[in-house]
């Protein structure tokens, strides 16, 4: 199921959603939770780690009839984006039965329903990855999840 969804999202985003980035995430230090990274004071530096060549995600072969997947050698996949999105959708669906307005944030994967209790949109600040005590931008997000940049 995840392989089929991943291929669909890869195709409709022209490769912006690419679950084959797992080796890059690990090299960048995202093999731990943000709490662990912060506790060790080892936020990823602005210098990108050396990126090794990797197989193109389009090389993954899906055989839906026999429920088989063939990955190119050394390809590792991270389905966290799909899983977290699904969890956020489930939480919002549950909460929306109890309220006309709700927001769910699962480590940056967010979804909003209804109008913010403080105005015409949900204010969202984007944390500076090098200094979590500072924001680098603020956007206003409307019902669902579309946003408008409102300042920096």
Could you give the CA distance from residue 134 to residue 131 in angstroms, rounded to a whole number? 6
Region of poorest pLDDT, from 51-65, 66-80, 134-148? 134-148
Q: Across the chain, what does the average pLDDT equal?
A: 79
Angle at which helix 80-96 crosses helix 2-12, to 10 degrees, equals 100
Instruction: List b or e across 79-97, with b for residues whose CB sees 16 or more CB atoms inside 10 angstroms.
Output: eebbeeeeebeebbeeeee
Task: Report residue 151's pLDDT band, with 50, 70 and 90 as the boundaries.
Answer: very low
Could you give the CA distance from residue 39 to residue 34 in angstroms, rounded to a whole number? 8
């Amino acid at each position: 199921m995840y392989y089929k969804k991943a291929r669909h999202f890869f195709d409709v985003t022209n490769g912006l959603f690419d679950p084959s980035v797992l080796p890059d995430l690990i090299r960048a230090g995202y093999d731990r939770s943000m709490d662990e990274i912060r506790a060790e004071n080892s936020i990823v530096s602005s210098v990108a780690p050396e990126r090794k060549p990797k197989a193109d995600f389009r090389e993954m072969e899906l055989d839906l009839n026999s429920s088989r997947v063939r990955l190119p050698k050394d390809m590792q996949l991270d389905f966290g984006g799909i899983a977290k999105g699904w969890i956020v959708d489930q939480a919002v669906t549950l909460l929306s039965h109890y309220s006309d307005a709700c927001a769910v944030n699962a480590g940056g994967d967010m979804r909003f329903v209804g109008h913010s209790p403080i105005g015409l949109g949900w204010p969202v600040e984007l944390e500076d990855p090098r200094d979590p005590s500072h924001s680098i931008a603020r956007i206003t997000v409307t019902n669902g999840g579309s946003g408008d940049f409102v300042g920096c």
